[in-house]
Structure 1
């Protein structure tokens, strides 16, 4: 599968039980053998095709990405991404957000994954916490994951906890200073298929 060019718009697509669960255009920052970094621009439209397992974000207030956007770092084979968030008028770095998800798989127009609900936040001072355990267990009970898949997700969580407790993170902390080019303005939204805008 081809590599993506910096600045290219690609779709992050979640696939659940063989069907599209959500779609979100992203802008490629870096695509190299050990790292795929993409940016979700402020105002980017999120879409949720009809699915037998409703997406938890499919509400009137969650149709657009708010704030300063987010930068998402992916390593091939990892069952999580490292997302970076900023806050305030001065765009101060807020935290890392380790989003458990299926290892990404490239497709022609972007990449596919599946959010696993369980997450971790890591503050600039090194403190961390687990997030959304209740939501994850509710989704397990609702049949989003098989028993084996749920156990693998829990095991991934334990691995992440060990990494965070040790302080030995793999990503470059200078990403916290990254800023999107000034000419990136909502171009991504126009590239979703018309029936899913």
Structure 2
């Protein structure tokens, strides 16, 4: 079974591309979605975050905006949060892989926004970077509800530049030419990996 690491900066079309791989029979492990489940009402991270940042829990779930404020206020807070979230995500990923192997799938996708930044590229068989020109990226991101130029710039500052991701990638999929072109690229990449 091949493990494919899928990454791309904000607004590049990574989630849409992950769905295209899924449509071709590749189960997708979405690291962000896993964290969202942990932060939801009844989620695994809620009691621990409540103990440290009680104001970050609203109606039994983590308020990501309040939690984000705590993370930006002191970089040590982020390190502490990651020290338990990352191992829990790792446990969920291991369970996902076990199930995929039992189901006999040929390839799985690890959808990881910070794949290179966290060294996750060393744990996959191939890396795929989803990209688009900067002006397309900016237009996509700025159309999102609640997005501001400052927030966009802050998010970009925490991500490896697109050019560096492309340089490190085994495969590059552009989403600027439309969905049909991206689907063809996904199929071509998957065929090549398999």
TM-score tier after normalising by the smaller chain length? under 0.3
Please give the TM-score of this superposition, normalised by the length of structure 1: 0.27
Q: Name which structure has the greater RCO, CA cutoff 8 Å, separation 6+.
A: 2
- Tell me which structure has the larger Cα radius of gyration: 2
Please give the TM-score of this superposition, normalised by the length of structure 2: 0.28
More helix by share: 2
